[in-house]
Chains A and B, each alone.
Chain A
């Protein structure tokens, strides 16, 4: 994991985790993009041999601890979302940036729905449309995250 500047991958993931828990005003908070999911999807598309389902699960587990949710909920949802990417990375890589955005949006929606379903199964939460607001910001975030992370990957020659 750490060879070939792999530490940079870890650093970007840690930054994404911090961005997920950074305090925000309540109105902005509902629109917080899924930083962790976006970064994981990028690394899984770029280096599927290094970042895969298990990495996603471990990061999801840390996210569970940070967010105080039941352990394993975000971990499972992230693992399933990244699994879809890991299975289709060769196709998705060749899509245009906008098509990729839409795919990332669908995955983000799936991720939120998975988390909601698991929470619904565990405790009686009710669905609010606001749970899906982050999908919009995640779609907007993807092109910028892609360009930035690609630059980082090329600069540090992460293989």
Chain B
């Protein structure tokens, strides 16, 4: 029953219509950012598709986990025990240091470092789009996740929350071109900004004067400036410093500490408890 003569608007008109829609969407989404709340709803709307897409992988992981041999398990268990012993020893040392640090800080009348609330999240989807570096995690507004929240793995900073859905949310990685982290060199405290390059193993530090004291192997940690990332977590290690005097600034390239290409379990941080529980604050006000 397909008619020989087409009815409805012609293809050109349709194309024109959708292109106008696209231009408007791009403008409102990118330049004005007026889709932040709508994005949250859309994210919740498509999360069934994401769960479906990752189902085979989750099944494989599940089977692999359930088919481990007894010997492997015993070996793993032993290595965990040894690890735990070592970590506990460090923890004892650390708690002592923390107390000492707090005492010194109170002597100097500077604010004490607060305890942070943490939550473990799992990666449920990684984007196949080469232009954006984002992942989707299985925590959302229901778990108290908020926009701009810091995300870590066991090595260092991974990124921050970009869009929050009900049961899942989107994390922008530090290697994304549109992302930058305020950092300092942990050796001497020089401040820099680590910007993503769109390549998974490379961050670039712009506007570093030639006279700056950075050497290959320096660890960059978050400086806590900008208020997004809590202070003192490792971000990257310096890979290359090119002090070519013919350029305005030194070229400093660093490599993320976190294993950006093999993320599975992540840690969400609530830097100060006050932010994490807005309902509690409201109640106090009442």
Is the A/B pair a real complex? yes
- CB-CB under 8 A for A83 and B49, given A47-B2, A68-B127, A68-B162: no
With CB as the reference atom, state the residue of chain A lying closest to B172.
A68
Q: CB of A66 within 8 A of chain B?
A: yes
Q: Check if B54 is an interface residue, CB within 8 A of chain A.
A: yes
Interface residues on B, range: 35 or more
Interface locus among B128-136, B220-228, B232-240: B128-136
Chain B residues within an 8 Å CB radius of A8: none
A87 to B11, Cβ gap below 8 A? yes
Interface residues of B in 128-172 (CB under 8 A from A): 128-132, 134, 136, 162-163, 170
User: For the complex, is A1 an interface residue (Cβ under 8 Å from B)?
Assistant: no
Assess the A49–B2 pair: CB atoms within 8 A: yes
- The answer, yes or no, to whether B85 is at the interface (CB within 8 Å) is no
Q: Are A79 and B15 in contact (CB under 8 A)?
A: yes
A66 to B162, CA, bound (A): 14
**B1 and A159 form a contact (CB under 8 A):** yes
| Pairwise interchain contact B14-A68, C-beta atoms closer than 8 A | no
Q: Give the interface size bracket for A toward B.
A: 35 or more
- Which segment of B23-31, B64-72, B250-258 sits at the interface? B23-31
B-facing residues in A29-64 (Cβ within 8 Å) = 29-30, 32, 47, 49, 52-54, 57, 61-62
B177 interface residue (CB < 8 Å to A): yes
Binary flags per residue of B35-65, CB closer than 8 Å to A gives 1, else 0: 1000100110110011011101100000000
A73:B54 contact, CB within 8 angstroms: no
Q: Tell me the complex Cα distance, A100–B136, Å.
A: 36
In the complex, which residues of chain A have a beta carbon less than 8 angstroms from the beta carbon of B25? 61, 70-72, 75
Question: Mostly helix, strand, loop or mixed at chain A's interface?
Answer: helix
CB pair B131 A75 closer than 8 Å: no
In A109-159, which residues have CB < 8 Å from any B CB? 115-116, 118-119, 122-126, 128, 130-131, 159
Tell whether, in the assembled complex, residue B35 and residue A71 are in contact, meaning their CB atoms are under 8 Å apart: yes
Given A65-B42, A79-B19: A29 touches B128 (CB 8 Å cut-off): yes
Which residues of B sit under 8 angstroms from A70, Cβ to Cβ?
Answer: 25-26, 29-30
The verdict on B274 contacting chain A, using a C-beta distance below 8 Å, is no
**Bound CA–CA A128/B198 (angstroms):** 10
Q: Which A residues form the contact surface with B (CB < 8 A)? A: 14, 17-24, 26, 29-30, 32, 47, 49, 52-54, 57, 61-62, 65-73, 75-76, 79-80, 83, 86-87, 115-116, 118-119, 122-126, 128, 130-131, 159
- A sample of 21 cross-chain residue pairs with beta-carbon separation below 8 angstroms, ordered by A number, consists of A18-B53, A21-B125, A22-B53, A22-B54, A26-B200, A52-B11, A54-B18, A65-B46, A66-B50, A68-B127, A68-B132, A68-B163, A71-B35, A72-B21, A72-B25, A72-B29, A75-B18, A75-B21, A76-B18, A76-B19, A80-B19
Interface residues of B (CB under 8 A from A): 1-3, 6, 11, 14-15, 17-19, 21-26, 29-30, 35, 39, 42-43, 45-46, 49-50, 52-54, 56-57, 125-132, 134, 136, 162-163, 170, 177-178, 198, 200, 261
CB-based closest 5 A-B pairs:
A72-B25, A76-B22, A72-B22, A57-B18, A67-B129
